[in-house]
Chains A and B, each alone.
Chain A
Amino acid sequence: MTAKTSKLALFSAALIAAATIVTNISVAKAEEWVPRKPVEFVIMAGPGGGADKMARLMQTVIQKHHISPKPFIPVNKPGGSGAEALIYMKSKTGEDHTVMVTLNSFYTTPLRQPALGIDPLTFTPIARMAEDTFVLWVNKDSGITNMEQYVAAAKKAGRNWSMAGTGRGQEDELLTAFLNTTYGLDMKYVPFKGGGDVAKQLAGNHVNSTVNNPSEAIGFYQSGDLVPIAAFTKTRLAQFPNVPTMTELGKPYSYFMQRSVVGPPEMDEAAYEFYRGVFKKVYDSKEWQDYMKKKSLLGEFITGNDLLDYWKVNYALHKKLLTEIGEIK
């Protein structure tokens, strides 16, 4: 009898063990989703811009530290201020081998072109890698060194004062609109192709000012050609300790550009976990941390619902800003 019971006990123990192993395997499978083919890494901007450089840095870090078993292949889809990339990502709904590097046109392009039928809040929030900052710049030949002089000069020139920026209805134009309304200016906004081109226009004295990201103007700052006037941040940037923020100047205003990674809508949960892990590792890498320091990038790593909340706030903010400048009704 005892022998029989013990046999039975043994058998059932074995059965349970087997079952656990089986479930363990399936759990492990769900946890350790890995890409089966190279991951398409869509860049919502053209080659050479800020987003492109960042994407290629991330790709290099992923490859160097063997963070992913399959490589990430960057693909530029700059068309239509990101419209092309957004449409493409939407078409990948529910698929797991495409992620995208995005910026603030993630909000502005769908808002300005409702016909695209894109709701950015449906995309999968993988990671916010950084927030890029904005600084007001002038050429050293203008002799302007502070905001007071800037406003005086711009007022005097009226409509002849020019601001160069990238794209229409995007970051740079929103900041120009802010300066115009806050200081009662009438400067005109001229769009150029990319941040580098904008910096060059100012260095060559073809325009009067820019609101470049520090990463785009840093070379000319180091050579002394461009002079920073004010930072659109909450606290002073470590790289420009003598440049006041707009808050210090009595006009509390800050504006940032997200540098985020998103997945298509309805991405598989396990794949989502995988990508979150990948980009957390990229964020923590020495390369990325150095890059953030050098380019005056701010911001913690956020993901999941925190990122979604961040999007909701910024989506509403951009809706308001675009309505104010008359880009949307």
Chain B
Amino acid sequence: MDIIPHLLDGFLVALQPMNLFLVIIGCAVGLFIGAMPGLGSVNGVAILLPVTFIVPPTSAIIFLAAIYYGAMYGGAISSIMLGIPGASTAVATTFDGRPMAVQGRADVALVAAATASFVGGTISVILFTAFAPPLAHVALAFGAEEEFALMMLAFSTFVGLGGDDIPKTIFSILIGLVLSAVGLDIISGAPRLIFGDLPGFYHGINFLVLAIGIYGIGEILWTIESSRGEVEVSQAVVSVHRIFAALKEMGGCIKTMIMGSLVGYFVGLLPAAGATPGSIMAYGFAKTMSRNPDSFGKGNIQGVAAPESANNAASTGSMLPMLTLGIPGSPTTAILLGGMVIWGLEPGPRLFVDQTEFVWGLIASLYVANLFALVLNVAFIPVFIWVLKLPFTILAPVIFVLCVVGGYAPTQDMHDVWLMLLFGVVGYLLRKLDYPMAPMVLAIVLGPLAESSLRQSLLLSRGSMTVFFERPISGPIMGIALLLFLLPVFKAFQRKRAAGKASEGGSHG
């Protein structure tokens, strides 16, 4: 194979002083963009796209890819520190990252996020380097049926997510599905659930509005309630010694990180899925595979490692269909694709043959970007920790402002800000009643994807449901999904029997 010489040539391109400089700047900018709620990698790349015409195309894509990468690292920062997902891709990171910060283990969570991002990024770039062209065909083999099967698999991992209370979990998923149905029906084009005719509902409910409302506003309400207005200062500390200890702790997450990387990478490959579903699915799998699933959502380090490795892996994965098929795997790559058109490059199956310098320069720069993003991220941890030391009376208004900005930014519509505040209050009440919130967020992300793929499959099969089980790829995935759906039922049954036996034994003794 001629991969190694190509890759070495790529490194020669990536390590040119200007390109190296752009990688470092890109990572730093991305880190910041990712950390700012509402400013995701999509906005970052879109804003900076016109700047790139002053450099050659290879340097331009290296710069934008570094931003994309940096944003994946940065998204975790506000998820952990403030409990507001910094980017859509980091929503799953709040599930465990925030509880860790509350327990005074913010530095551990940040190290975990950075390390997992690095591992995810590196594994996926290696996969990318070795198997890019064959994997492009995997992406092509995924039709609507396979996409739906994959969504079912994602949902199945979440039935157990809300702990033992399965009815409440299902209720939460259903609420999420209803919210995801608001807007325009993609098949018939008819408006649905728009409350009469409120124009703000035409674009649907952006799930960041729900996530920021529930986690950001909800968090403020929680803290006000628990502190009862007393001024608290978090006992966050950081030292080199603690960072090394955290790295050691990450040793126990190797399996989770590899799993997250693989899940993220393959979900990222699929057009239109992108890093957000990938990271949420990885979280679900990590919890399902864990021996101690109840500790998830309460500050389990695995719950940070899984989504963070997955979202970085997915961001690499989504570049593959962009480069080889000309189809964006995520909204950010959609804009990168537009960029390539502007630079005069034609993405598609011929790109790997015709533009080797561009392709391999980009791949090599991903290795470099990973390294720098890790270094930058770890170096800034003391600064992030300092934020936590701010008294709540200062922090709360800052969080509130960031929430409003984050709710406004994706659609630039005040309607969404009011909606976000509403979700914050309702989410807080639901949490008080012990309803799990993560399944709702999952449902609003995956709902539209599941709905369109289900309806497209049924249109193609003329209403026959068996199509999901007959096809070689979707069949096994559906099978596993069904098993996972039934797993909590079996577990509950077993536990009841065990409990029954124990009480019998007790009465005899």
Contacts and interface: CB of A to CB of B under 8 A. Distances in A.
Interface stretch (A148-156, A214-222, A266-274, A310-318): A214-222
A57 interface: yes
A220 B348 contact: yes
B386 interface: no
A188 interface: yes
A25 B321 CA distance: 56
A57 B271 contact: no
B349 A220 contact: yes
B203 interface: yes
A190 B460 contact: yes
Interface stretch (A4-12, A195-203, A233-241, A249-257): A195-203
B348 A219 contact: yes
B172 to A, nearest CB: 26
B350 A196 contact: no
A169 B456 CA distance: 16
B50 A79 contact: no
A169 B184 CA distance: 13
Interface residues of B, number: 52
Contacts of B244: none
A168 B188 contact: yes
A196 B328 contact: yes
A127 B191 CA distance: 30
Contact of A57 (B199, B326, B338, B459): B338
Given A53-B338, A60-B49, A190-B459, A80 B191 contact: yes
Interface residues of A, number: 57
B350 A74 contact: no
Interface stretch (B84-92, B139-147, B160-168, B362-370): B139-147
A223 interface: yes
A209 to B, nearest CB: 13
Interface string B440-463: 000000000000100010011010
Contacts of B335: 47-48, 52, 56
Contact of B348 (A204, A207, A223): A223
Contact of A48 (B331, B348, B411, B460): B331
Nearest to B47: A73
Contact of B346 (A80, A200, A222): A222
Contact of B334 (A47, A84, A159): A47
A291 interface: yes
A316 to B, nearest CB: 21
A49 B337 CA distance: 10
Nearest to B185: A168
Contacts of B142: 204
Interface string A155-182: 0000110100001110000000000000
A77 B200 CA distance: 11
B350 A219 contact: yes
Contacts of A33: none
B189 A112 contact: yes
A81 interface: yes
B203 A200 contact: no
B327 interface: yes
B445 to A, nearest CB: 15
A59 interface: yes
Contacts of A60: 49-50, 53, 342
Interface in B129-147: 139-144
A196 B327 contact: yes
Contacts of B203: 77-80, 84
A180 to B, nearest CB: 15
A308 B303 CA distance: 58
A105 B328 CA distance: 23
Contact of A84 (B199, B321, B346): B199
Nearest to A162: B460
A168 B183 contact: no
B327 A56 contact: no
Contacts of B348: 218-220, 222-223
Interface in B294-321: 321
Contacts of A220: 325-326, 348-349
A169 B186 CA distance: 11
B460 A219 contact: no
A185 B335 CA distance: 38
A223 B141 CA distance: 17
B202 A80 contact: yes
B199 A87 contact: yes
A167 B53 contact: no
A196 B271 contact: yes
A98 to B, nearest CB: 12
Nearest to B142: A204
A80 to B, nearest CB: 4
B272 A52 contact: no
B347 A79 contact: no
A207 B144 CA distance: 10
B221 interface: no
24 contacts: A48-B328, A60-B53, A79-B183, A79-B184, A79-B202, A80-B184, A80-B202, A160-B462, A168-B187, A188-B462, A190-B459, A193-B452, A196-B327, A197-B272, A199-B327, A200-B140, A204-B143, A206-B144, A220-B325, A220-B326, A222-B346, A222-B348, A223-B348, A223-B349
The 10 lowest CB-CB distance pairs between A and B, nearest first, are A219-B348, A48-B334, A79-B203, A223-B349, A206-B143, A168-B189, A219-B326, A204-B140, A79-B202, A53-B338
Given A47-B331, A206-B460, 17 more contacts: A48-B335, A52-B338, A71-B50, A81-B189, A87-B202, A88-B199, A159-B462, A168-B188, A169-B189, A190-B460, A191-B186, A196-B326, A196-B328, A197-B327, A200-B321, A201-B144, A223-B349
